[in-house]
């Protein structure tokens, strides 16, 4: 009997010691190292049953807790955005220009759905790489926006070395796409091919005046690019011309700035186009405005297109189309789509070589309030084989953005530029000595 009691005491004591050691082990673990998911699984298997786990919801992994937290954050974010959208739709409706951009502007305070895009051919791959490196180094290394490379040759990318080099320069979020052949290469049924031939001869002395490819490209980028499947899910784009170079650091998220300030269209250079290349554009636009007067915004930017106060004649001013940061939903709006169709049926893109830049300039100036158009004065920028060269002439801007450019070469206030009109219309003070550049 005594022997049995001693055995029982020994067993009980052993259990107490083991429990004590285990408790110390657990407390030591919690104070010196985090418990991993695998640790918790092993311990739950050793010391819990399925019934205990189901009855005790505290025995869940930190992964589940993190997922729940992220789901809650997404739910709250969506509630906020939905409330903003409802308020804006009540104000603007759904079919207006402003209504088309409600969803993207309602994303205020959150990361924009934006993409960097280059339209390229196999002939300019070295320029593509140069621009990619420049934008990554001066902007995207801070923000990691996705890149989209679109072949405009009608052929898919087959240069594996090029594709690997692209992937070695930027993040993993890269796409290689090809334009829709039916949208890019096909002539509309109503186009008179004889008129195109005459136009090519007549305009052969002007840049791309005799190019069928340029006419196809202008029509595609003006009216169809925004609808491509590869653009779905994006609200913003930055069109980057192969060979362009950024000359100042851009440690400001341009997409986020435009989104949060409800700016829909931006430009870096403007110029006066040859009158032969915008022939009949002004008259065609007037007919559209007469047919749809309500589409014109009451606080528009139309003075940019006028000679002084004379808006009866187009002054030839337009934004450079090779640099654009813009809201895709503006171009997806009912207003812009009807505007494009009206111009497209006229045939001026093929007969008069109207460019994307000319058409977009008119559209932005008519259908957007002027406060939604932005000139980036702090951006150093150069285009290959082009007169467009931007360098901040303000000394503080030049220093703050770590610019590596010559302000004396800045094109902003050049006699062939129209950007001084932007300053006047927006009532913005011009830099000191602006007229000396």
Is residue 403 very low, low, confident or very high in pLDDT (cuts 50, 70, 90)? very high
**Mean pLDDT, to the nearest integer, of 223-236?**
94
Q: Which residue's entry shows tokens 């893109």?
A: 349
pLDDT, tens digit, 9 for 90 and up, residues 95-122: 899 999 999 999 999 999 999 999 998 7
Whether the per-residue pLDDT at 40 is higher than 90: the answer is no
Highest mean pLDDT among 24-28, 30-34, 73-77, 229-233: 229-233
Whether the per-residue pLDDT at 78 is higher than 90: the answer is no
pLDDT of residue 140: 96
Q: What token pair was written down for 168? A: 């070695």
Whether the per-residue pLDDT at 387 is higher than 50: the answer is yes
- Residue 140 DSSP code: I
pLDDT, tens digit, 9 for 90 and up, residues 257-298: 999 999 999 999 999 999 999 999 999 999 999 999 999 999
- Residue 139 DSSP code: I
Q: Which residue's entry shows tokens 């009109």?
A: 421
Q: Cite the DSSP H helix spans in 60-187.
A: 62-92, 97-100, 102-105, 125-135, 160-169, 181-184
Return the percentage of the chain with pLDDT > 90, whole number.
63
pLDDT of residue 60: 52
pLDDT, tens digit, 9 for 90 and up, residues 110-153: 999 999 999 998 778 899 999 999 999 999 999 999 999 999 88
Torsion, CA 297, CA 300, CA 306, CA 311, rounded to 10: 30
**pTM (2 d.p.):** 0.81
**Mean pLDDT, to the nearest integer, of 323-330?**
96
Q: How far apart are CA 334 and CA 94, in angstroms?
A: 9
**Mean pLDDT, to the nearest integer, of 392-403?**
91
Q: For the chain, which domains are there?
A: 38-92 (no CATH), 116-436 (3.90.550.10)
pLDDT of residue 27: 40
pLDDT, tens digit, 9 for 90 and up, residues 1-22: 444 444 444 444 544 444 444 4
Is residue 86 very low, low, confident or very high in pLDDT (cuts 50, 70, 90)? confident
Tell me which residue of 179, 123, 114, 180 sits closest to 149, measured CA to CA. 179
Q: Cite the DSSP H helix spans in 144-268.
A: 160-169, 181-184, 193-202, 212-223, 254-260
Q: Cite the DSSP H helix spans in 193-244.
A: 193-202, 212-223
Whether the per-residue pLDDT at 253 is higher than 70: the answer is yes
Please state whether beta strands 174-178 and 147-151 pair in parallel, antiparallel, or not at all (unpaired): parallel
- Helices 212-223 and 334-346 cross at an angle (nearest 10°) of 160
Q: How far apart are CA 398 and CA 408, in angstroms?
A: 12
Q: Widest CA span of the chain, in angstroms?
A: 122
pLDDT of residue 33: 36
- Helices 37-47 and 62-92 cross at an angle (nearest 10°) of 120
Residues 6 or more apart in contact with residue 366 via CB below 8 angstroms:
285, 289, 295, 296, 297, 300, 301, 302
Q: How far apart are CA 226 and CA 153, in angstroms?
A: 18
Q: How far apart are CA 356 and CA 154, in angstroms?
A: 20
Task: Let me know: does 282 contact 307? Beta carbons within 8 Å.
Answer: no
Q: What token pair was written down for 44? A: 């739950």
pLDDT of residue 359: 97
Q: How many residues does the chain have?
A: 437
How does the average pLDDT of the chain come out, rounded? 85
**Mean pLDDT, to the nearest integer, of 376-383?**
92
CA 65 to chain CA centroid, Å, is: 34
What backbone torsions phi and psi does residue 317 show, to the nearest 5 degrees? Answer: -75, 140
């Amino acid at each position: 009997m005594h022997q049995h009691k001693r055995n029982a005491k020994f067993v009980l004591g052993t259990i107490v010691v083991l429990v004590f050691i285990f408790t110390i082990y657990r407390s030591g673990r919690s104070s010196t190292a985090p418990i991993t998911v695998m640790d918790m699984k092993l311990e739950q298997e050793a010391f819990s049953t399925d019934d205990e786990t189901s009855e005790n919801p505290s025995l869940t992994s930190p992964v589940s807790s993190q997922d729940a937290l992220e789901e809650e954050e997404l739910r709250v974010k969506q509630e906020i955005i939905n409330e903003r959208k409802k308020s804006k739709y009540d104000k603007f409706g759904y079919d207006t220009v402003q209504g088309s951009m409600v969803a993207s502007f309602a994303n205020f305070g959150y990361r924009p759905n934006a993409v960097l895009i280059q339209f390229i051919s196999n002939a300019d791959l070295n320029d593509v790489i140069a621009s990619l490196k420049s934008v990554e180094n001066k902007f995207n290394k801070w923000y990691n926006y996705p890149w989209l490379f679109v072949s405009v040759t009608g052929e898919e990318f087959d240069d594996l070395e090029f594709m690997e080099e692209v992937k070695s320069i930027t993040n993993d979020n890269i796409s290689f796409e090809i334009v829709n052949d039916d949208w890019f290469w096909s002539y509309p049924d109503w186009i008179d091919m004889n008129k195109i031939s005459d136009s090519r001869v007549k305009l052969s002395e002007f840049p791309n005046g005799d190019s069928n490819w340029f006419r196809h490209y202008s029509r595609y980028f003006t009216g169809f690019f925004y609808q491509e499947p590869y653009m779905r899910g994006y609200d913003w784009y930055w069109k980057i011309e192969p060979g362009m170079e950024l000359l100042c650091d851009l440690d400001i998220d341009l997409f986020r700035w435009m989104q949060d300030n409800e700016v829909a269209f931006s430009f870096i250079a403007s110029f006066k186009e040859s009158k032969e290349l915008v022939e009949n554009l002004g008259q065609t636009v007037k007919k559209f405005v007469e047919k749809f007067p309500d589409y014109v915004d009451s606080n528009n930017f139309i003075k940019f297109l006028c000679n002084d106060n004379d808006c009866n004649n187009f002054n030839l001013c337009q934004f450079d189309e090779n640099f654009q940061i813009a809201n895709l939903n503006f171009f997806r709006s009912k207003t812009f789509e009807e505007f494009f169709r009206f111009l497209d049926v006229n045939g001026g893109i093929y007969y008069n070589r109207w460019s994307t830049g000319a058409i977009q300039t008119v559209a932005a100036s008519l259908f957007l309030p002027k406060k939604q158009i932005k000139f980036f004065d702090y951006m150093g920028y150069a285009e290959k084989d082009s007169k467009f060269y931007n360098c901040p002439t303000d000394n503080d801007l030049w220093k703050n953005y770590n610019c590596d450019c010559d302000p004396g070469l800045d094109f902003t206030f050049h006699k062939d530029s129209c950007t001084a009109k932007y300053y006047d219309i927006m009532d913005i003070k011009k830099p000191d000595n602006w007229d000396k550049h």
